[in-house]
């Protein structure tokens, strides 16, 4: 199993550009989520999905869109990048149902918006 | 509102010394608690988790944590640290199925030789 994969690893954007961060998992997990990590603030939840076709907002959803057309993939879209979106982005997944479940994290995407 | 507080931003200990990292949480339902470790430039690796049963949980790399409901705490401990334990440690709380995790700010651990 590859686990949770994210592409790209690094990205530099100019203000106003759009891009999609890709996330895929091969563990047949129903629950997937996106976090951003900023210094001194831990990880904050952007959006999450409990299954294909179902998404919801987390703590910091503004400026980001998501969709979940398949169980495996959960892309994060920045429609018009802003410098405040400079961050490290992590995708995570879990079965999302049992008490003993664990979220598994991808390696992250480091995004810089100029 | 759900929240996690890690009071110590940075801790320095000597190699071979014992370690305790503090974590306090606020959660309106049954808490499911996690400790993750992150090495520089890497993703997050699960150290251990508590979801029910014995309040003292064992994890990987010799770490353990104790859930104290009365104190809303889930402190991480290790009896003897190794230089390779230098990393950032995150405490998190979430709902059943590890959904919607709320993370603390993290504690950066430095090991003196």
Residue A101 to residue B43, Cβ atoms within 8 A: no
A83 min Cα distance to partner chain B (Å): 21
Residue A31 to residue B97, Cβ atoms within 8 A: yes
Q: What is the pLDDT of residue A90?
A: 97
Contact status of A87 with chain B (Cβ, < 8 Å): no
Q: What is the pLDDT of residue B1?
A: 80
Question: Do strands B99-103 and B87-95 pair parallel, antiparallel, or not at all (unpaired)?
Answer: antiparallel
As given in the structure block, the two tokens for residue A83 are 């410098």
Residue A100 to residue B51, Cβ atoms within 8 A: yes
Q: What is the mean pLDDT of residues B59-72?
A: 96
Q: What is the mean pLDDT of residues B93-97?
A: 87
Q: For chain B, give the percent of residues with pLDDT over 90.
A: 81
Q: Is the pLDDT of residue B99 over 90?
A: no
Report the candidate in A85, A95, A112, A89 with the shortest Cα–Cα distance to residue A43: A89
Q: Which of B32, B101, B104 sits opposite A99 (nearest CB)?
A: B32
**Spatial CB neighbours of B30, under 8 Å, sequence gap ≥ 6:** B95, B96
CA distances from B19 to B63, B69, B110, B113 (A): 9, 21, 11, 15
Q: What is the mean pLDDT of residues A34-50?
A: 95
pLDDT tens digits along A88-113: 999 999 988 877 788 999 999 999 99
Q: CA-nearest residue of chain A to B48?
A: A102
Question: A95 — alpha (psi -120 to 50), left (phi > 0) or beta?
Answer: alpha
Residue B101 to residue A100, Cβ atoms within 8 A: no
Q: What is the pLDDT of residue A101?
A: 85
Residue B105 to residue A41, Cβ atoms within 8 A: yes
Size of interface A-B (CB pairs under 8 A): 73
Q: Is the pLDDT of residue B24 over 90?
A: yes
Q: What is the DSSP string of B67-96?
A: EEGGGTEEEEEESS--GGG-EEEEEEEEET
Dihedral of the alpha carbons of A101, A110, A42, A47, in degrees to the nearest 10? -50
More confident residue, B113 or B20: B20
A50 min Cα distance to partner chain B (Å): 9
pLDDT tens digits along B38-58: 998 888 999 999 988 889 999
Q: Is the pLDDT of residue B96 over 90?
A: no
Q: For chain A, give the percent of residues with pLDDT over 70.
A: 100
Q: What is the DSSP string of B21-56?
A: E--EEE-SS--EEEEEEE-TT--EEEEEEE-SS-SE
CA distances from A35 to A9, A45, A47, A64, B14 (A): 15, 4, 8, 11, 33
Q: Half-sphere exposure of residue A37, counting CA atoms within 13 Å on the CB side?
A: 25
């Amino acid at each position: 199993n590859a686990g949770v994969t994210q592409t790209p690893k690094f990205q530099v954007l100019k203000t106003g550009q759009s891009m999609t961060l890709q996330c895929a998992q091969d563990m047949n997990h129903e629950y997937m989520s996106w976090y951003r990590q900023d210094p001194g603030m831990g990880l904050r939840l952007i959006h999450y999905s409990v299954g294909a076709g179902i998404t919801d907002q987390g703590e910091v959803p503004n400026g980001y869109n998501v969709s979940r057309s398949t169980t495996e993939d959960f892309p994060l879209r920045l429609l018009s990048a802003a410098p405040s979106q400079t961050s490290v982005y992590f995708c995570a997944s879990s079965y999302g149902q049992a008490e003993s479940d664990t979220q598994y994290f991808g390696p992250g995407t480091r995004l810089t918006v100029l | 509102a759900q929240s996690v507080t890690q009071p110590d931003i940075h801790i320095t200990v000597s190699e071979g010394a014992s370690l305790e990292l503090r974590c306090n949480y606020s959660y309106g339902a049954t808490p499911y608690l996690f400790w993750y470790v992150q090495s520089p430039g890497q993703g997050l690796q699960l150290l251990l988790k508590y979801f029910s049963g014995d309040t003292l949980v064992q994890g990987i790399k010799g770490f353990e944590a104790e859930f104290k409901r009365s104190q809303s705490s889930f402190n991480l401990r290790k009896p003897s640290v190794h230089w390779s334990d230098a990393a950032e440690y995150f405490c998190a709380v979430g709902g059943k199925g590890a959904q919607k995790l709320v993370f603390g700010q993290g504690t950066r651990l430095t090991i003196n030789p």
